[in-house]
Structure 1
């Protein structure tokens, strides 16, 4: 039946064209944004998962920054300790040289005093972001010998947790201002014969003579300095191991962030090869739909010829 009131062919052609235009808009949006799922209306489940994963990745980026700060703090402490070891080694060499009878120990002490001042200055300047692990005051209310740094962000279902790396720096301190504790370089010992209290940072050999008792005390002082060297070497080794661990964690977090990015991409990224092919097909369908609609609209004009 031919009718001028209802053009079935035009209605069908219009519906087909509208569907093609809608698909074309969707494809163009995917090509423009590079995303197959850009909003929750595209795919609510995938969009929700991707949003959560992106949020977690942002948290991991902050974790990476925290690890960087921790690595820098350890590096400062390690560098200062390493340099201090060389200074203490120099003090030890001068003490060994002063063991030789007839040596002017006053002049040797003058050099040692300068080295001792250098040690104090190095420890005091080993500060990063307001924290100093080498020159401390353990009696302060805010002091803690265990330093923690954020190392991971973990999600398990609806629960999130923050992982940390703990480092005990009590054995790494070189100086401690507390009256009840001491660091490696200000731990006091007492000479056996002279009953003189001393530490690596305060020892004074200018008054020692070539007597048997004084030489025995000098050897004792050398032994104390050598013990401090061993403690500092152990401290530097511990700091180096901690820095290595943080470096490994930094690499892991970086790789984990890349893996999450890839996972999000699998969920929401558009396949540009597929979308470009689809775009070309839809453009052809759009042109054909327009032509089909034009032909369907001409059917009503054909009815006029029946009344001529």
Structure 2
């Protein structure tokens, strides 16, 4: 190799080696400081883009996890409230059964009515407070729960939806669409004589209702309101209020029970049979409540003195759309309907609880899956871009030594042209 002061090939080679070492050292130091082997598209474009797509998927999953967490909390609040309502309905049923005791005086009935009303108010209070993040699933406001479970690369969002319920005491869940209650109604004479049935001749069902009977129209009104009077034997006014019963067209039949035996009059309207039973405590027919003709047919049934006629609706009276908050023990039909209304509420509440419970379990499982999936993607991204720090630490030591050696080699190479001066001494 010729000596030249213009070209120092050894220095060039030493500088190239030193520059390469410095570049590798900078890369290693960057990996150690960031912890990433692929921190930029300049490091590895294919790997970096794959990692970025996975990060995008992970962001969607994390958003879904947040949505699922909120949904779970909302369902927990609704479920706790529904369970508390179920406990209160058990107490309400105990009171509703207790008030059926015919031996209770009016004060006791009123006290039980107050206790029942307090439970109804407490149920509505619980329903009103069962809210989380502005969502109440049980107050009948029409709010539904819509939890995001994930989103795919095409942008399609998957959801779990839970419909809202109405657990208010005036709502559909607390309403019995059809309640059959005891239709017994007692008609008292009030101390005077009251003709209930007056036949003009034997076997003819021609009768008259006086004001005392017509004023006891609760059971007749219920029959009219429920459309059971298909034969039209109940008289109604222009406002649809029941005013009495047309015996002549009711298919009435009479039965004289004999001495000391109750006499009965049965008539029907539509599918419901109605029976009047006299309280016959005297000798019939002449001394009893029922008078007969020579053939033994009842010609007159009267309420005299303190006697009673009990009107018994054989199939019961059907009331419709009875809500829990409309129950009033001071009203006979309402009191008799209480147990059925409470039982209906509890039956429908069981369905609501089942729906809330299964939805809660579904969201819990989805949340667990989303958490596991998030962890798996995190690990996958790490496998793609994370630096092996133990390996990078070893490389750092080696490159630092190579850098020192390169510097010394470059220094030696730079001194080579100076040796030419010895030739001119």
Is TM more than 0.5 here?
Answer: yes
- Quote how far apart the aligned CAs of 1:244 are: 1.0
How far, CA to CA, are the matches of 1:147 and 1:66 in structure 2? 10
| Correspondent of 1:183 among 172, 176, 182 | 172
Relative contact order, higher structure (CA 8 A, sep 6+):
1
Show the counterpart of 1:80. 81
Any idea what SS the aligned residue of 1:164 has?
A: strand
Task: Kindly indicate whether the alpha-carbon contact (under 8 Å) linking 2:78 and 2:138 is maintained by their aligned counterparts in 1.
Answer: yes
Residue ranges of structure 2 left out of the alignment (5+ in a row)? 184-218, 223-318
Aligned length: 286
Does structure 1 residue 230 correspond to structure 2 residue 347? yes
If each structure's strand is expressed as a fraction of its own residues, which one has the higher value? 2
Show the counterpart of 1:161. 156
Does structure 1 residue 129 correspond to structure 2 residue 133? yes
Structure label with greater radius of gyration: 2
How far, CA to CA, are the matches of 1:82 and 1:39 in structure 2? 55
Does structure 1 residue 23 correspond to structure 2 residue 21? no
Task: Kindly indicate whether the alpha-carbon contact (under 8 Å) linking 2:137 and 2:163 is maintained by their aligned counterparts in 1.
Answer: no
Show the counterpart of 1:211. none
Any idea what SS the aligned residue of 2:161 has?
A: strand
Show the counterpart of 2:202. none
Q: Aligned runs of 1:1-308 on 2, under 5 Å? A: 1-103=2-104, 104-137=108-141, 143=142, 147-155=145-153, 159-169=154-164, 172-175=165-168, 182-187=171-176, 189-192=178-181, 193=183, 194=219, 195=222, 198-208=322-332, 218=335, 220-308=337-425
Bigger mean CA deviation after superposition, 184-193 or 41-50: 184-193
- TM-score for the superposition, normalised by structure 2: 0.64
- Quote how far apart the aligned CAs of 1:267 are: 0.9
- Quote how far apart the aligned CAs of 1:133 are: 1.9
Task: Kindly indicate whether the alpha-carbon contact (under 8 Å) linking 1:153 and 1:162 is maintained by their aligned counterparts in 2.
Answer: yes
Change (3 A) 1:258 1:72: same
- Quote how far apart the aligned CAs of 1:58 are: 1.6
- TM-score for the superposition, normalised by structure 1: 0.87
Task: Kindly indicate whether the alpha-carbon contact (under 8 Å) linking 1:175 and 1:186 is maintained by their aligned counterparts in 2.
Answer: no
Alpha-carbon RMSD: 2.0
Q: After superposition, what is the alpha-carbon deviation per residue over 1:10-29, rounded to whole angstroms, capped at 9, x for unaligned?
A: 10011000000000000000
Task: Kindly indicate whether the alpha-carbon contact (under 8 Å) linking 1:186 and 1:201 is maintained by their aligned counterparts in 2.
Answer: no
How far, CA to CA, are the matches of 2:338 and 2:95 in structure 1? 12
How far, CA to CA, are the matches of 2:352 and 2:134 in structure 1? 21
How far, CA to CA, are the matches of 1:298 and 1:105 in structure 2? 118
- Quote how far apart the aligned CAs of 1:52 are: 2.0
Task: Kindly indicate whether the alpha-carbon contact (under 8 Å) linking 1:148 and 1:165 is maintained by their aligned counterparts in 2.
Answer: yes
- Quote how far apart the aligned CAs of 1:176 are: 8.7
Any idea what SS the aligned residue of 2:39 has?
A: coil
Any idea what SS the aligned residue of 1:150 has?
A: strand
- Quote how far apart the aligned CAs of 1:113 are: 0.8
Any idea what SS the aligned residue of 2:55 has?
A: helix
How far, CA to CA, are the matches of 2:163 and 2:169 in structure 1? 15
If each structure's helix is expressed as a fraction of its own residues, which one has the higher value? 1
Q: After superposition, what is the alpha-carbon deviation per residue over 1:161-190, rounded to whole angstroms, capped at 9, x for unaligned?
A: 211012233xx321398xxxx421145545
Task: Kindly indicate whether the alpha-carbon contact (under 8 Å) linking 2:123 and 2:169 is maintained by their aligned counterparts in 1.
Answer: no
